[in-house]
Amino acid sequence: MLQLTVLVSGAVLMALEMLGSRVLAPQFGNSIFVWGSLIGVILTALSAGYYLGGRLADRHPSLPPLARVLALAGVWTWLLPEAATRVNAWLAARDLGPRLGALVASLALFAGPALLLALVSPWAVRLAAREIRSVGSTAGVLYALSTGGSIAGTLVTSFFLIPAFGVADLLRSCGLVLLALAALDLAAARRRAQAIGVTALTALLLFTSAVLRPPALFETGAPARIEPPRAVGGGMQPGVVSGGPAVGEIRGPFEDGVVFEKESLYHHIRVENAGGSRYLRFDNSWQSGMYLDDPLRARFEYTDYLLLPFALRPDAGRALMVGLGGGSVVKKLLAYRPDLRLDVAELDPVVVEVARTYFGVPDNPRLTVHVEDGRRLLDRAGPAYDVILLDAYYADAIPFHLTTREFLGRVRARLTDGGLVAANLIGALEGPRSALLRSMARTFATVFPEVYLFPVGGRSPDTYQNVILLAPREPHRWSREDIVKAAEAQADALGTPSLPEYAAALHTRPLPVDDVPVLTDDHAPVDALLHLYE
């Protein structure tokens, strides 16, 4: 029984660490500070727990006290979903910053159960060691089992459980597993009354879990497929706003080769010149590009597609962009929209430095760059925006907390009447590689009345590609002709002659989404959807 106890407690401990990142991400992002806080708190709890576990085992060298510790850990873990909601709300009101906030939340939520679970291994060694000469081998076996359980908990939770189930359900399930284990230990120790009591508590919490369980994702009122909005007559009469260029100084060298390379807190960042262009690379994917002889000309076509909402809202006075990259969109908006005030949320300070130094993002009184997570910026009180642009989704790394229904609700709440959001998504519209994009489109459709999709570059719908999603705050039922007409009227004013062609790329076929989930803070399996058929 001791071997099973050690194995399962090790698995639950690492499952809690994996789930912890999902609990903290909606409030603090998925940064290195979150992982550093979690790992630091867990290791501190392990250190303290090993020490206390040895002392307690010497004072109480029997199985029932250990079982009661497991039961307490189980109840604490079962309560974590509700506790997380309250702790995150309390911290949000105090704005302690990404470092201290993540650390305080990790301590408040996970130090307790981790400490209790750390008591198990030294206590089990004390109970299992029959004589002094066998202590070494006994400890070796039990710690190997504990580590094996931790490995299993890490892999099973991250590979299978998080993609399949909601975080709240998984946390409560971990608590129930610990309670069931405590009941088994008490039964093995022939403490029948206590075993029955813990079993009854487990059954009660299991029933309560079923009642509290979030509704099935497919019962959220989300559409089974997304129909392109149909026009209801009438055209658009957008105005015309023009402006001049606004590009800062661009640092050399300008010959082909690597210009800048640095390991930031979030990426391995590289700036590279090739064939008259300059490129920005994060880890293994290209993020942005610029023609060295024409910094305002789009090197990657999708950046000009992100100007479509400004054709539909030519009077936009304030905009927010989540994700800076090389600043292609920012430079163009500053150049051609002289009355526009632009806020940018960029998590990585090195990216901001690179965009200003090597890509010509200017110091401009109309541009404010916030070095913070985009969701945190939206959580704070601030201005309403006519347009919000989301360009923080990478080809192989999707920050899940920026994809969920709760996040999009914050986006919609910060839009003005008549406001629009546009997002640069990466995926296919049809076929085996379309699951994530269709899931994100379905999630947008639960928050916004209409969703418009513009595949970039005229590729086949089953091709992995950039797709610009556009969603208005209020229904408009624009036709392709309406959007093209607006783009024609604003193409020159936005410095983008091809804008009508991009507007004409509107995807008009229904998008089936009945087989993909609505993404929520509780369940957003973006990694699994991204690599579903790989």
Question: Taking Cα atoms as reference points, which of 39, 71, 78 lies closest to residue 174?
Answer: 78
Q: Considering the candidates 169, 373, 391, 521, report the single residue annotated as catalytic.
A: 391
d(CA 428, CA 315): 33
Residues ≥6 apart with Cβ < 8 Å to 55:
none
Tokens for 466, please give them.
Answer: 């950039």
Largest CA distance in the chain: 90
95 a catalytic residue: no
Question: Taking Cα atoms as reference points, which of 451, 456, 447, 487 lies closest to residue 469?
Answer: 451
Q: Is the dihedral of CA 383, 384, 387, 388 positive or negative?
A: positive
Helix (H/G/I), strand (E/B), else coil: 459? coil
Alpha-carbon Rg of the chain, whole angstroms? 27
Pairing relationship of beta strands 452-455 and 415-427 according to DSSP bridges: unpaired
Cα–Cα separations (whole angstroms), residue 312 to 56, 196, 306, 500: 68, 66, 11, 12
Q: Do the beta carbons of residue 119 and residue 69 sit within 8 Å?
A: yes
Q: Tell me the sheet residues that pair with 427.
A: 465
Residues ≥6 apart with Cβ < 8 Å to 264:
348, 349, 350, 351
Q: Do the beta carbons of residue 456 and residue 303 sit within 8 Å?
A: no
Q: Do the beta carbons of residue 12 and residue 178 sit within 8 Å?
A: yes
Question: Taking Cα atoms as reference points, which of 373, 436, 437 lies closest to residue 410?
Answer: 373
Residues with a known catalytic role: 391
